[in-house]
Amino acid sequence: MSANGWLQFAIFSVVLLATVRPVGIYLARVMEGERTWLDPVLRPFERLIYKLCGVNASKEMNWREYAFALLGFSAVSMVFTYAIERLQATLPWNPQHLANVGTDLAFNTAASFTTNTNWQFYAPESTMSYLTEMLGLATHNFWSAASGIAVAIALIRGIKRTRSATIGNFWVDITRTLLYVLGPASVVFALVLVWQGVPQNLHSYTVAHPLEQPSHIQTIGQGPVASQEVIKELGTNGGGFFNANSAHPYESPTPLTNELEMLLIFVIGGGLTYTLGRMTGSQGHGWAVFAAMFVLFAAGFTVCYWAESQPHPLIHGAQQTATATAPGGNMEGKEVRNGITESALFATVTTDASCGAVNSMHDSFTPLGGMVPLVNIMLGEVVIGGVGAGMYGILIFVVLAVFIAGLMVGRTPEYMGKKIEAYDVKMAMLYALIFPLVILTFSAIFVLMPPGLSAMANPGPHGFTEVLYSFVSGAGNNGSAFAGLGSNWWYNVAMAWDMLIGRFLMIIPALALAGNLAQKKSVPPSPGTFPVNTPLFMVLLIGVVVIVGALTFFPALSLGPILEHLLLHAGHVF
C-alpha cells in the first residue's frame, strides 16, 4: 500500500461525492416529468416514441400493470436478442464472418444482457459480430439500465405518495431515462474514451506485421468499442467488447479512462440517493443512505487493496513490495497502467454496483482480495449498487432496518410516515430470501455433479469459490467472474435461470411493496418514530446489510476463500 494509492482513492471519493447532488437533482427532474435543459432537443423525440409505440403518457399504472409492462418488455427484447445471435451469420456487419451462436449460449447471453448481468460465457472478439454487439447486446445495456432506474423511481414514488393506486407509467419512465439520461451521457463520454484511445470503427480486424518478426502476423480485434464501453459502465451492465473486458487496453487505455469508467459505474447509483431524499422530502435520509453505502465501499476497498498488496508467501527472489516505480504486490492478471490500487478499486466498485466489468482477473486475486468482490455481491449490491437495482435493494434493507428498530422498542415501525405492516415485511423478506435460495441451491447442486466439477479451472477450495462466485454473480446480476470457470450446456442453462430469477423474481416483490406503500395513508410522526436521517440509522442500516449477508453466506465463504487463505499461508498449494 502506498500514499499515492490512498490519494487515488481519496480523489475518486471526492469526485464521486461532488456528483451526487447535481446528478440526483437532474434524475429527480427527469423522473418527475419536469422541464430539463435538454427539452428543446429531446421533447419532440419523446413525443414521437410515445406516438410510434402507442403509449398513453398521461395514464398511470398500478403496480401490477407496471410489473406486467416491465416483464413484457423484457421478454420481447430478450427474444429479439436471441434471434439476432442465432442469425448473425446471415446479417450485415459481420466482417469476420463469425458463425451463428449456439442455442444454449444464445439463451444464456440473451438472459444475461436482459437481466443487466452481462455474464459472458464466450470470448466476444471471436463469437459476436459487430451487429450483435451493437443491436443485440449494447441495446440491452440501455434497456435494462432504464428498467432498473424505473423500478427504483416507482418504489420511491410508493414511499412518497399517499392513498394512491398508481406508481407511474413504465413506458414513460424508461423513455425519459433513455432519452434524457443514458443517451446524451453516452454520446459525450464515448467521445472522451475515443480521445484517450478506445477504438470506434466498423473495419474488419487489423492485420499487423510485428517489428521483430514481420512474418508472424498479429491480427488485432477492433470494432465499435467506445459506444458500447460507455453504456457498459454507465448502465452498470459490464459486458465487455473483448474477452478481457476493461483490462483490455482498447477498452481502458489509460488511468484516466479507468477512473472515468469507475465513476460512470457509480454516478447514477450515487445520485439516486439524493433523488430519494429529494422526492421524499427528507434530504437527510438520502445522505444517511449514501453514508451507509460509502462506509461499506471504503471498507471493501481497504481490505482488497491491503490483500492485493501482499507478497505471495511461496514465491522468492522477486520484488513484491512497492517501489517508487513499480507497484509490487499480486500482479498476476493485472495491468501495469492500473497497478494494484486501480485494480483493487475497480474490483470493489464493479461489485458494489451490479456492473461486473473487470479491469483485472478476479480469479487470480489473493484469496482474501478475491473474497471482497464476492462479498460485495453477496450483500445484495446495495453499496451504491446497480443503476436503480441498488436503490430498490437498499430500500428493502431500510424497511427491514426500520422493522427491526420497531421490534427493539416495541412500537409499530414507521417509515416516512407510513406504517410498515405484515405485507410490507413479507415482500421485503421475500426479496431478501430469493437471492440466497437460488445461489446456494444451484451452487450445492453443481459441486455435486460431474459437469459442474469439470468446468473448474483451479483445484482445491478455489475451484469451489469459482462455482459459488458464478451463481452469486448471476443471481446478483453482476456479471463479473472468476473467469477460469469453463462453460458447458449445464452452466449455460442453469446460469440463465439464475440470472432471470435474480432479476425478475426480486423486482416483483419490490414493485408489490411500492404499490402497497403508495396506497397507505400518512401518519404524523410520534415520539416513537425511529428517525431515518441520523448516524444511528446509518449504523443500523449497515448492521442489517452485513448481518443478513454474513448469516447467509459465511459457511460458504469459509469453505472457499477463507480456507484457501489459511492453507496457502500454511504452505499448501493444489
Q: 168 pairs with which residues across the strands?
A: 61
Q: Whose CA is closest to 396, among 417, 420, 372, 373?
A: 420
- The pattern of x and - marking residues 295 through 324 that bind another protein according to CB under 8 A reads -----------------x-xxxxxxx--x-
Q: Whose CA is closest to 57, among 147, 173, 141, 143?
A: 173
3-state secondary structure of 168: strand
For residues 215-274, which are near another protein according to CB under 8 A? 216, 218-222, 224, 226-228, 242-244, 247-250, 253-256, 258-259
Query: Rounded to whole angstroms, how far apart are CA atoms 574 and 569?
Result: 13
> How deeply is 194 buried, as exposed, middle or buried, from its count of CB atoms within 10 A (0-12, 13-18, 19+)?
middle
CB of 543 to another protein, least distance (A): 32
Query: Rounded to whole angstroms, how far apart are CA atoms 509 and 173?
Result: 19
**Residue 13 grid cell:** 471519493
Longest dimension (CA), the chain: 81
For residues 159-198, which are near another protein according to CB under 8 A? 161, 163-166, 168-169, 171, 174, 178, 183, 186-187, 190-191, 194-198
Number of residues that bind another protein (CB under 8 A): 149
Residue partners of 52: CB distance under 8 A and separation at least 6: none
- 464 lies in the site for another protein, by CB under 8 A: no
3-state secondary structure of 410: coil
Q: If you search the block for the grid coordinates 492453507, which residue do you land on?
A: 567
CB of 282 to another protein, least distance (A): 17
Among 85, 414, 498, 564, binds another protein (CB under 8 A): 564
Q: Which is nearer to another protein, 331 or 432 (CB)?
A: 331
Q: What is the DSSP string of 144-196?
A: HHHHHHHHHHHHHHHHH-SS-S--B-HHHHHHHIIIIIIHHHHHHHHHHHHHH
Among 8, 144, 309, 354, binds another protein (CB under 8 A): 8
Cβ atoms within 10 Å, residue 557: 18
Query: Rounded to whole angstroms, how far apart are CA atoms 487 and 493?
Result: 10
CB of 435 to another protein, least distance (A): 26
CB of 161 to another protein, least distance (A): 6
Q: What are the helix (H) ranges across 447-502?
A: 450-454, 461-475, 489-500
Q: Which is nearer to another protein, 285 or 462 (CB)?
A: 462
For residues 382-411, which are near another protein according to CB under 8 A? none
Q: Which is nearer to another protein, 319 or 526 (CB)?
A: 319
CB of 497 to another protein, least distance (A): 22
CB of 457 to another protein, least distance (A): 6
CB of 528 to another protein, least distance (A): 29
- 551 lies in the site for another protein, by CB under 8 A: no
Q: Which is nearer to another protein, 221 or 390 (CB)?
A: 221
For residues 74-93, which are near another protein according to CB under 8 A? 75-77, 80
For residues 467-506, which are near another protein according to CB under 8 A? 482-484
For residues 321-380, which are near another protein according to CB under 8 A? 323, 325-339, 341-343, 358-361, 363-367
**Residue 153 grid cell:** 423511481
- 139 lies in the site for another protein, by CB under 8 A: yes
Which range in 204-212, 375-383, 396-404, 490-498 contacts another protein by CB under 8 A?
204-212
Q: If you search the block for the grid coordinates 441498488, which residue do you land on?
A: 390
CB of 130 to another protein, least distance (A): 9
For residue 116, CA distances in Å to 111, 359, 560 come to 9, 19, 26
Residue partners of 7: CB distance under 8 A and separation at least 6: none
CB of 144 to another protein, least distance (A): 12
